[in-house]
Homo-oligomer: A and B are copies of this chain.
Amino acid sequence: MATIPTELFQELAHKTGSKIVLVVCDGLGGLPHPETGKTELETARTPNLDALAGRSTLGYAELVGLGITPGSGPGHLAMFGYDPVRYQVGRGALSAVGVNFPIRPDDVAARMNFCTLDENGLLVDRRAGRIPTELCERLTRKLQDQVTLPGVELFVRPEMDYRGVVVLRGEGLSDRVSDSDPQVVGVAPLEIEPLVPEEERTAELANAFISRAREVLADEHPANGVLLRGFAKPPHLPSVDELYKLNAAAIAVYPMYRGLASLAGMEVLPTGKTMQDELATLRENWDRYDFFFVHFKYTDSAGEDGDFDRKVRVVEEIDGLIPRILELEPDVLAITGDHSTPSILKAHSWHPVPFLLYSKWCLPDEVDRFTERAARRGSLGHFHASEAMGLMLANALKLLKYGA
Contacts and interface: CB of A to CB of B under 8 A. Distances in A.
Chain A interface, >50% SS class: loop
A2 B3 contact: yes
A62 B379 CA distance: 11
Nearest to A398: B67
Interface in A359-404: 361, 363-366, 372-373, 376, 379-384, 386-395, 399-404
A67 B393 contact: yes
A399 B366 contact: no
B66 A387 contact: yes
A32 interface: yes
A349 interface: yes
Interface in A26-70: 31-32, 39, 60, 62, 64-70
Interface stretch (A87-95, A280-288, A311-319, A321-329): A87-95
Q: Give the interface centre of A1, A4, A349, A393 by most chain B CB atoms within 10 Å.
A: A1
Contacts of A330: none
What range describes how many residues of A lie at the interface?
35 or more
B365 A4 contact: no
Q: How many copies does the complex hold?
A: 2
A8 interface: yes
A51 B345 CA distance: 24
Given A1-B384, A31-B361, A384-B1, A348 B401 contact: yes
Given A365-B376, A381-B381, 12 more contacts: A2-B3, A4-B66, A65-B390, A67-B387, A67-B399, A71-B402, A73-B403, A74-B403, A84-B402, A91-B404, A347-B401, A380-B382
